[in-house]
Amino acid sequence: MADKVYINQLAEHVGDEVTIYGWLYNKRSSGKIGFLIVRDGTGIVQVVVSKSEVPAEAWTALQEIDYEASLKVVGSAKADARAPGGYELLVSDLEVIGTSSPDYPVQLKEHGVDFLMEHRHLWLRSPRQVAIMRVRDEIIKAIRDFFYDRGFTLVDTPILTGAIGESAGTLFSTEYFDLGHAYLAQTGQLYGEAAAAALGNIYCFGPTFRAEKSKTRRHLTEFWMMEPEMAWCDSECSMQVQEEMIVYVVGRALERRRAELEGPLERDTSALEAIQSPFPRLSYTEAIEKLQAAGSEIEWGDDLGGEDETLVAEDYDRPVFIYNYPRQAKAFYMKENPEDPRTVLCNDLIAPEGYGEIIGGSQREDDYDKLLSRIREEGLPEDVYQWYLDLRRYGTFTHSGFGLGIERTVAWITGVQHIRETIAFPRTLNRLYP
C-alpha cells in the first residue's frame, strides 16, 4: 500500500496517479460512465469510471457492486468544485476487495432509531455519525490541551473501587475474589483528591458507571467524565476554571470542526459563537425563586430536575452557574457553606438550549470531623473511607474540583438531541448490543 493516499490528502496530489482504499457510499451510472462516491473515513470523493479506460473485469465488477463494498481505486486526482468533497478521481483501475450485499441494513433512507441502534456498528459509518465522532475527538483533545497548558497532571484513577463515590442507589457491583464486592467507579474524584495533595492540580478522564434506571435523553449507564481536582482552589476559583474551559473548548470546536458542525450536523453555529465570558450565576435559592415565580411547585430543599434546569437556563444564551445547593440534595463530600450551613459550596453548570447539567462541581469538605459526621449521616461504611479521611488527618487543604460529562457536552456542541449518538457504542438501561 505504498502509494496509498487518504481522501483528505488529495489536495496535495492533484494531477498525480494515486491509490485510495475505501467503501462505496453511493453510485450512479449513465451508459459507459459510472460515478461512485467513495468514503474512507477522512472524506468522500467522486470516482469517475469510463468503460473505455478501465480493464473489462473492473467494469464488470462495478455493475454488480453494492453499497459499502470495500474498494481499491487507482486514478488521477483532479480538483472539481462541483464534486462532493471538491475532488474527482479519474479511474484507471478498480478492484473490489470485500463485496457487500443488496441487503446492507443501513440504507440511505430514513430508519427508526431502534433499528439504527441495533445496527450501530454499521450506522457509525454514516456522515452524521462520523461528524459527531470527530467533534467528540476535538472536544476531548481541547480539554486535554487546556489542562496540559495550565500545568495539570493527568492521573488515571481506578475503575474497580471499594468505596461509593457518589450515591449508593446507582452502583454496579461485581464479585471480587476473597474481598467481597467491587464497585464500578461512579467518579474518579475521591482518588483525584489524594492525587491533588501529591501533585497540586490534576485531572482524571475515564469511563464512569451509574446503574441509573432513567431512560432520559441525558442518561447513559456508562459515560466518560473529565474531572479536574485543584489544591488551594475554592468553589469560586473552580467556577472560574470551568468557565474558561468551556469557552476554550467551544472555541476549538468552532475553529477546527466547523465543517462538520455546519455540514452534516446542521448546527446553528451562531449559538456557539455566543459562548463567551462571563457566564451568568444564580444561587440555588435564586433559582428556586425564579422557578416558583414561573409557576413551578418546587420547594426550597428539592433538587432541580431536568425540566427545572431547562426553565432556569431559558433566559440565557450561554451556560449558567447555579451554586450552593442544599446539602441534602448533594453528595456527602461537599463542603458546608460557612455562611449558611443548610447549603454546601458547590455548583452545577447548565448548558443553554435545553441541554441541562453538563458539569457538577464543589469545594470539598476539608474538616475531618464534619466529613466523618457526613459519612455517618449517609450510612456509608466508615472503614472503606479511612484513606479518604487520611487526606484530612494529614495536612488537610482547601480544594475543589468538578466533573464534566463528555457525552452531554458533545450533545450540546453538536446539537444532537439524545446523548446515545455521542458515544460510539452507548450503554443504556436496555442496550448492551452491539
Please give the residue ranges that form the binding site for Mg ion (CB under 5 A): 360
**Grid coordinates of 375:** 459519612
How far out from the chain centre does Cα 125 lie? 18
Nearer to ligand 4AD, 40 or 357 (CB): 357
Q: If we measure between CA atoms, which residue out of 184, 185, 202 comes closest to residue 193?
A: 202
Kindly state the smallest distance separating residue 403's Cβ from Mg ion, in Å: 8
| Residue 358 binding result from ligand 4AD, Mg ion, none, given CB thresholds of 5 to 8 Å by partner type | ligand 4AD
Q: What is the DSSP letter of 352?
A: T
CB of 35 to ligand 4AD, least distance (A): 42
| CB closer to Mg ion out of 120 and 218 | 218
Residue 389 in grid coordinates:
479521611
Buried b (16+ CB within 10 A) or exposed e, 220-240: bbbbbbbbbbbbebebeebbe
Minimum distance of ligand 4AD from residue 2's CB (angstroms): 44
Angle at which helices 235-256 and 406-414 cross, to 10°: 50
Backbone angles phi, psi at 172, to 5 degrees: -95, 130
- C-beta of residue 118 within 8 angstroms of C-beta of residue 433: yes
Neighbours of 266 (CB within 10 A): 12
Query: Quick one: what does residue 352 bind among ligand 4AD, Mg ion, none, with the CB cut-off 5 to 8 Å set by partner type?
Result: none
319 binds, among Mg ion, ligand 4AD, none (CB under 5 to 8 A by kind): none
Neighbour tally for 178: CB within 10 Å: 5
Comparison of 40 and 243: residue with beta carbon closer to ligand 4AD: 243
Distance CA 393, CA 336 (A): 18
For strands 153-154 and 201-209, give the pairing: parallel
Instruction: In whole angstroms, give the CA distance from residue 49 to residue 32.
Output: 8
Among Mg ion, ligand 4AD, none, residue 223 binds (CB under 5-8 Å by kind): ligand 4AD
**Residue 405: contacted member of Mg ion, ligand 4AD, none (CB under 5 to 8 Å, by partner type):** ligand 4AD
Nearer residue to ligand 4AD within complex by CB, 38 or 359: 359
Partner interacting with residue 230 (select from Mg ion, ligand 4AD, none; CB below 5-8 Å by kind): none
Nearest distance, CB of residue 38 and ligand 4AD, angstroms: 36
Please, which residue, 261 or 359, has the CB nearer to ligand 4AD?
359
Helix/strand/coil for 206: strand
What minimum distance in Å lies between the beta carbon of 155 and ligand 4AD? 12
Please report, as ranges, the residues that interact with ligand 4AD according to CB under 6 A: 166, 187, 189, 210, 212, 219-220, 223, 225, 227, 357-362, 401-403, 405, 407-408
CB of 102 to ligand 4AD, least distance (A): 38
Q: Among all residues, whose Cβ is closest to Mg ion?
A: 360
Q: How far is the CB of 401 from Mg ion (least distance, A)?
A: 13
C-alpha cell belonging to residue 128 = 452524521
Instruction: Select from Mg ion, ligand 4AD, none the partner in contact with residue 227, using the beta carbon and a kind-dependent cut-off of 5 to 8 Å.
Output: ligand 4AD
At a CB cut-off of 8 Å and minimum separation 6, what does 93 contact?
54, 55, 58, 73, 74, 75
